[in-house]
Amino acid sequence: MNSKKIRDLTFILHRYVGLAVGLVLIIVGLTGSLLVFEQDFDHLAIAQQYGHITPQKEQLSPESVVNIIQARYAARSDLKLFRIYLPDAPDTPYIGQLASTDGHRTEVFVNPYTGKIMGQRLWDQTLIGIMLNLHYTLMAGETGIIIVGITALLMCILSITGLILWPGWRRLITGFKIKLDAHPKRANFDIHKVAGIITVVFLFFTGFTGFCWNFYDLTEPIIYAVTFTPKLSEPVSQPIFGKSILNLTQQLKIANAALPGAITKSIYFPDKPENALQIRMKLPQENIEYGNSNVYLDQYSGKVLRVDNGLKLSLGDRVLNSFVPLHYGTFWGLPSRILYVFVGLAPLILFITGFVMWRYRYQAKTRISDRPSELSHSRRD
């Protein structure tokens, strides 16, 4: 097969895949743009809705806050505390997350100095929660996860085919030039090619990471396999008959000794007697907001079951952890996050300009196909 045929097939694939999944990509892209700064917007919304916190000398311990939350919701058998986020600044609250039997998540905010419960909210009903649900599932549950995952994979194909078709391979300057004063057809094409080449790498990685997340049970073992990384078994607690779990303050002391210098960011509570207590921590050298370090403890004896040092992870784990900065655009800090706002707008621009290009071609083919009929009529006349 010669290069012209390959290019023609690539063009056909690029065109019809883009038309087929363009609307879904627009939804995912626009919501993605809004979610780039989700933490910043959420912190602002929490402060405005539940009140500002005045920093004091000493904060309450995580164990005290856990006891406050559990006492408050003791009568709610349908809610179970599964995670707590520690304050990441002097004026931010503890955030406890409770899972309900119907699959919803309730967040409760606690003043870290007074222990006062500032308020609660259903995560699914917040603006960020709605946007995330739309971005990840199209608000269609498991079916939506599959649709978005497949669409993300097709976006990778669109990125590769678009890169192959980019005219700048023949003349570099032409590939980045937009002639807005030219015929609308040419100007439209120029906008499409330039918007595509500027965002192609970022679109590919957001598509690839999104596909891997939506089909995580499939892709995780593949990533471990191709990186020749053995997957570590899940840490397991050993229940002791008649003995209650070790108190949280003691557990945190053990975790701090296991990973010196790290700051505790969040705590994941076991949902089964045999599960381990997971304490997520961040070392000073880590640039991920919540860190990639973890300490797993036996919830009864406090024995250290596993320590994941975020600076010494296996290749497979490093690849999996790289998905967050690649997908959310946090790898260059604020500049890359701003860039990703525009990357999220790219599917809309590319779909509109791509549709216009297809429309021009369709109209041209229609005119050509009508000519024989016109000639036939003229001969009869």
- Tokens in use for 380? 């009869």
- Tokens in use for 241? 């008959």
Between CA 348 and CA 324 the distance in angstroms is 23
Q: Is the dihedral of CA 203, 208, 211, 216 positive or negative?
A: negative
Between CA 231 and CA 223 the distance in angstroms is 10
Between CA 344 and CA 202 the distance in angstroms is 10
Domain ranges within the chain, ordered by starting residue: 3-36+138-215+333-368, 54-112, 248-313
DSSP letter assigned to residue 23 = H
Q: Which residues pair with 280 in a beta bridge?
A: 266, 294
Between CA 51 and CA 67 the distance in angstroms is 22
Closest CA to 240 of 273, 272, 271, 268: 273
Is 254:277 a contact under the CB 8 Å cutoff?
Answer: no
Provide the pLDDT for residue 280. Answer: 97
Provide the pLDDT for residue 3. Answer: 82
Provide the pLDDT for residue 375. Answer: 47
Count CA within 13 A, CB hemisphere, residue 192. 24
Closest CA to 302 of 343, 352, 248, 266: 248
CA dihedral 368, 370, 373, 378 (to 10 degrees): -90
* Cα-based distances in Å from 328 to 208, 209, 221, 267, 321: 12, 10, 23, 23, 12
* Segment 117-122 long-range contacts (CB within 8 Å, at least 24 positions apart): 117/68, 117/69, 117/72, 118/50, 118/51, 118/93, 119/49, 119/50, 121/49
Query: pTM surpassing 0.75?
Result: yes
Pairing of strands 263-268, 79-85: antiparallel
Q: What interhelical angle do 127-137 and 141-165 show, nearest 10? A: 70
Tens-level pLDDT at each residue, the chain (381 residues): 678 889 999 999 999 999 999 999 999 999 999 999 998 999 999 999 999 999 999 999 999 999 999 999 999 999 999 999 999 999 999 999 999 988 889 999 999 999 999 999 999 999 999 999 999 999 999 999 999 999 999 999 999 999 999 999 988 988 999 998 898 999 999 999 999 999 999 999 999 999 999 999 999 999 999 999 999 999 999 998 878 899 999 999 999 999 999 999 999 999 999 999 999 999 999 988 889 999 999 999 999 999 999 999 999 999 999 999 999 999 999 999 999 999 999 999 999 999 999 998 888 777 666 655 554 555 555
- Tokens in use for 11? 């063009």
Between CA 238 and CA 240 the distance in angstroms is 6
Terminal C-alpha separation, the chain: 46
Question: What are the residues whose beta carbons fall under 8 Å from the beta carbon of 354, sequence distance 6 or more?
Answer: 15, 18, 19, 22, 192
Between CA 53 and CA 76 the distance in angstroms is 27
